Structure 1
Amino acid sequence: MVDEQPRRLLPRTGLGTKLLVLTVLFVMLSEVLIFVPSIANHRQTWLADAHRNASVAAAIIAETKNVPEQLKLRLLDATDTLAISHRDGERRRLIAMAAPPTMVDRHVELGNETIAQSILAAFDTLFAPNGRILRVTAMPEGRAEEVDVILDETALRADMLAYSANILALSLVISVVTALLVFMALRWLFVRPVKRLADAMIDFANDPEDATRTVAPSRRSDEIGDAERCLAVMQRQLADTMTERRRLAELGLAVSKINHDLRNLLASAQLFSDRLAAIPDPTVQRFVPKLVRALDRAVGYTSGVLAYGRAGEAPPSRRLIDLEHLASDVGEILGLDMHPTIEFRILVDDAMEIDADPDQLYRVLMNLCRNAMDALEADPHDAVVRRLAVAAERAGSLVRIVVSDTGPGVPDAVRQALFQPFKGNVRRGGTGLGLAIAAELVRAHGGELTLLDTPTGAAFEITIPDRPVDLSVRRAAIA
């Protein structure tokens, strides 16, 4: 089998690395979303400035008579234009031209482009070849005629590429700085606490019974703090469970060691009981059958104690039982019928019958009566009333048995874990197994063992239903 031990994640695959990469990518994506309208606006601004400068040059030439051609060419060169013309009504007049007319590749009407058109035109310019000719048309402010400007797109493209490079460099700087700041903040707030929790879980998984490996919750009041506190509680509960399992394993080992010797001792006691049965004394003859039954039950318990440790109690073998007689046997075995200080009452109708396993119900009553007897005998005051009663009543197919006493009662501290192994011990030196075993035996019958709220003493109620009748089997038997 492959040993699957918990291992720590490598730093390159940790949350910090992933967080840093994702932060850079998201910031770059944000910069791209900012760059798209920004480059479109830069193109519009550049064209508007070029048209404005050309319009100023056109106004100077138009207002000045007999402008030398050399001056016109210098004005066109200063404004990066090839030709300037204006239209007044239906008439168009060429103001200046640096070279013979060429084919115009694109026509731009400033102020009439939509946002989408402007963005598409900006990227068209970025990926356009050098030497493309643009015709830019607009209405200058304060003038009635429309001015057309013919220019080479190469200068615009070079300026847009330089602008894009600057934006890219700035975006990289912003991305790195922002990513580092966000990374450091999130690492301090989230990644380090999560890594601490992961390391604590790995360390605890390597040795759950080591109390020093339990995570120490911080004072954080957010979700991380809640996770730390919940993990600490879960680790403590799991450590307690592991300790209980180890104790159960040790108990099972101890029981298995003494089981053989105990069976031999009980076998010897059975031989002596057989010899006692041959003595013709009335008292001996009265108690020997009870002693034999007690020894038989003890032998049965030792045979099944290991099975209990492995898979729980055997299914009940139910029969009709005289409940008054069974309670009387319990009282005689415990010596309650002749106890000097404890009054033992059996408040059960002589005709009361219950459908249950006799040995298992005997063990339930034995555990409850022995616990009550120990509680009553532990009280040092002679004036207190010491009474133990077993009462029963039938309601249809349900039998209700109540074992009550006038002792000190069950402390509130153990009520929640009363029927849990090793936790429900009321008296000092107890194992806490008696009530757990009794509750399991009652549940095997489909019933329930509960502690009743009483003003004095303790009262345990056993409810056991009769077996349901299988009508199909009954009809088959009648047929």
Structure 2
Amino acid sequence: MADKTVGDADESPDMKTGRSVPLSRGLSTKLLVLTIIFVLIAEVLIFLPSIANFRLRWLEERLGTAAAVSIVLVQTDPSDLSREVQQDVLRSIGAKAIAVRDGGVSRLLVVAKMPPQVDEHIDLANTGPMEAMTSALSTLFTGGDRMLRVFGPVGDSEKEFELIIPDYKLRKAMLVYSRNVAFLSLLISLFTATLVFYAIDRIMIRPIRAMTQSMLAFSQAPDDPSRIIEPEDRGDEIGVAERKLSDMQQRLQKTLNEQRHLADLGLAVSKINHDMRNILASAQLMSDRLGLVRDPTVQSLVPRLVRALDRAVSYSEGVLTYGRTQEAPPSRRRLRLRQTVEDVQGLLGIDPEGEIEFINDVEANFEVDADSEQLVRVLTNLCRNSIQAMASDTEGAIVRRLSVAADRTGSVSRILVTDTGPGLPQKARENLFAAFRGSARSGGTGLGLAIAHELVRAHGGALDLVESVGGRTVFSVTIPDQPVRLDEARHHLRRPA
């Protein structure tokens, strides 16, 4: 209950309101804005040919009206028309002059006041799309005071009609048309954006928001089963993502519960091992005293008792060592490996006159780039395992030899630990570096190889079993030199000699 209270207290205001991000920065708002923008861009692209077509149709209508008037005027003598009638004809069309071309001969039918110049000539029969859009934009933005000459055939007539007309009425009509198109485009954009927003929000945004809220809620209290997302019954990608998220949360919750139990168990085991080690130390002292007793029965049992106590102490120390926090990064220096191996030999307490022969086959000038303390621990664990394996052989004629050698290839150092023990069984090889599963002897923990493997990997190297047969087992410790940093190298090179 206390953990849950803390989790609830840590929840952010957005979690309490059911929203993980502000509305202004949410996917829904971004989707709505982008939909409106894209629809407006589409409308603009449609508007350009639309306004160009409107301009051409407007001019074609005026030219068609002028052609109808011209047919009547051609059948009569234009000089018979009074000035007022000509003005009325041109005023109804909004033109300054009307002419007709027949058989290569142009004839001016009606004219009010001929303008001093014509600003643009428009051939309605031969105007391309790009030219039409460019001219339409020019009229829309900079027109209003220009004089246009519009010409071209009308219908099936072989005659070509011409019309001199100012563009201010054309521009006014184009502005009205543009305003209507803009208003209609805005309505279409809003309507389309609303439909798209509603559809995508229902299909995608809400499920994504639900997954986001579930992940945030789960992160606040991963041990609460009620915070695991309940996937919907859908077969698309979001349905798959919801099911995978639910499975991941369930596995993570199970793992966290197991880790919590293991942590509690590990703490209890550490305390038990600490006290057990003290008890075993006292038992060792008593076994030493028993060794002074001259009774033959006691003398025959004491070696077995000592070996059992040594095994129990080694087991307790291994569990305590493995139960520590993560190892610190190696502090690497250049080491003389032969001297390091000699230190390991002293820690193992191998009697030079004893049954096990220890050979330090490392050259005196051989150097390795490693952490001194961690390398000693690695070699100590490997050598102790070899000694324990060879100690299990009781036949006096069997050779018991442990040797440490080394070689170098480029910037990589390789240390070989070889013994003449009975070799590793198949079960131990399958779980070679797994704690509590990789032991080669009964009652062992396998922690020595697990710790050595972890320390070697921290150096960027590898611990491998090269060979293991009856009478020969070889472990290889490969450690590459740490790379040289260019900035430091340059700094040292620039120093004065």
With the length of structure 1 as denominator, give the TM-score of the two structures: 0.69
1:401 maps to which residue? 424
Q: Secondary structure at the match of 2:424?
A: strand
1:94 maps to which residue? 108
The answer (yes or no) to whether the contact 1:323–1:352 under 8 Å persists in 2 is no
Give the Å deviation of 1:47. 0.6
- Given candidates 3, 10, 13, the residue that maps to 2:25 is 13
Residues in 2 aligned to 1:222 and 1:418: alpha-carbon distance in whole angstroms: 44
Residues in 2 aligned to 1:78 and 1:434: alpha-carbon distance in whole angstroms: 114
Give the Å deviation of 1:327. 3.7
Q: Does 1:268 align with 2:277?
A: no
Q: CA offsets per residue over residues 38-72 of structure 1, 9 Å max, x none?
A: 00011011111110111111111111343444333
Q: Secondary structure at the match of 1:56?
A: helix
Q: Secondary structure at the match of 2:45?
A: helix
**Equivalent residues in 2 for 1:377-456, closer than 5 Å:** 400-402=423-425, 437=447, 440=450, 446-447=463-464
Residues in 2 aligned to 1:396 and 1:265: alpha-carbon distance in whole angstroms: 33
Q: Does 1:117 align with 2:117?
A: no
- After superposition, the Cα gap between the structure-2 partners of 1:136 and 1:469, relative to the gap in structure 1 and judged at 3 Å, is closer
Give the Å deviation of 1:278. 2.8
Residues in 2 aligned to 1:437 and 1:217: alpha-carbon distance in whole angstroms: 43
Residues in 2 aligned to 1:284 and 1:257: alpha-carbon distance in whole angstroms: 33
Q: CA offsets per residue over residues 7-37 of structure 1, 9 Å max, x none?
A: 6211110000000000000000000000001
- After superposition, the Cα gap between the structure-2 partners of 1:249 and 1:355, relative to the gap in structure 1 and judged at 3 Å, is farther
Give the Å deviation of 1:94. 1.4
- After superposition, the Cα gap between the structure-2 partners of 1:62 and 1:467, relative to the gap in structure 1 and judged at 3 Å, is closer
**Equivalent residues in 2 for 1:198-347, closer than 5 Å:** 198-310=212-324, 311=326, 314-317=377-380, 318-319=382-383, 321=386, 326-327=391-392
- Given candidates 436, 459, 474, the residue that maps to 1:465 is 474
Q: Does 1:140 align with 2:149?
A: no
Q: Which runs of 5+ in 1 are unaligned?
A: 330-345, 357-394, 405-414, 425-432, 449-460, 471-479
**Equivalent residues in 2 for 1:98-109, closer than 5 Å:** 98-109=112-123
Counterpart AA for 2:264: E
- After superposition, the Cα gap between the structure-2 partners of 1:158 and 1:19, relative to the gap in structure 1 and judged at 3 Å, is same
Give the Å deviation of 1:145. 3.0
1:64 maps to which residue? 76
With the length of structure 2 as denominator, give the TM-score of the two structures: 0.67
1:183 maps to which residue? 197
- Given candidates 152, 161, 171, the residue that maps to 1:157 is 171
The answer (yes or no) to whether the contact 1:130–1:153 under 8 Å persists in 2 is yes
- Given candidates 55, 59, 65, the residue that maps to 1:53 is 65
Give the Å deviation of 1:139. 2.1
Q: Tell me how large the CA RMSD over aligned residues is.
A: 4.0
Give the Å deviation of 1:403. 6.8
Give the Å deviation of 1:249. 2.5
Residues in 2 aligned to 1:35 and 1:192: alpha-carbon distance in whole angstroms: 35
The answer (yes or no) to whether the contact 1:355–1:467 under 8 Å persists in 2 is no
Give the Å deviation of 1:117. 0.8
- After superposition, the Cα gap between the structure-2 partners of 1:435 and 1:290, relative to the gap in structure 1 and judged at 3 Å, is closer
The answer (yes or no) to whether the contact 1:324–1:350 under 8 Å persists in 2 is no
- After superposition, the Cα gap between the structure-2 partners of 1:289 and 1:159, relative to the gap in structure 1 and judged at 3 Å, is same
Give the Å deviation of 1:120. 0.5
Counterpart AA for 2:85: L
Q: CA offsets per residue over residues 75-100 of structure 1, 9 Å max, x none?
A: 22222222101223443221112334
- After superposition, the Cα gap between the structure-2 partners of 1:24 and 1:170, relative to the gap in structure 1 and judged at 3 Å, is same
- Given candidates 24, 35, 38, the residue that maps to 1:23 is 35
Give the Å deviation of 1:205. 1.3
Give the Å deviation of 1:235. 1.9
Residues in 1 aligned to 2:239 and 2:321: alpha-carbon distance in whole angstroms: 45
Counterpart AA for 1:440: A
- After superposition, the Cα gap between the structure-2 partners of 1:399 and 1:178, relative to the gap in structure 1 and judged at 3 Å, is farther
Residues in 2 aligned to 1:250 and 1:61: alpha-carbon distance in whole angstroms: 111
Counterpart AA for 2:139: T
Counterpart AA for 2:450: E
Q: Secondary structure at the match of 1:401?
A: coil
- After superposition, the Cα gap between the structure-2 partners of 1:182 and 1:420, relative to the gap in structure 1 and judged at 3 Å, is farther
The more displaced of 25-34 and 300-309 is 300-309
Q: Secondary structure at the match of 1:315?
A: helix
Q: Secondary structure at the match of 1:64?
A: coil
The answer (yes or no) to whether the contact 1:447–1:464 under 8 Å persists in 2 is no
The answer (yes or no) to whether the contact 1:419–1:436 under 8 Å persists in 2 is yes
Q: Secondary structure at the match of 2:125?
A: coil
Residues in 1 aligned to 2:143 and 2:56: alpha-carbon distance in whole angstroms: 19
Counterpart AA for 1:269: A
- After superposition, the Cα gap between the structure-2 partners of 1:94 and 1:204, relative to the gap in structure 1 and judged at 3 Å, is same
The answer (yes or no) to whether the contact 1:354–1:399 under 8 Å persists in 2 is no
Residues in 2 aligned to 1:292 and 1:299: alpha-carbon distance in whole angstroms: 10
Counterpart AA for 2:44: V
The answer (yes or no) to whether the contact 2:464–2:475 under 8 Å persists in 1 is no
Residues in 2 aligned to 1:289 and 1:205: alpha-carbon distance in whole angstroms: 57
1:41 maps to which residue? 53
The more displaced of 16-25 and 61-70 is 61-70
The answer (yes or no) to whether the contact 2:98–2:111 under 8 Å persists in 1 is yes
Give the Å deviation of 1:355. 6.8
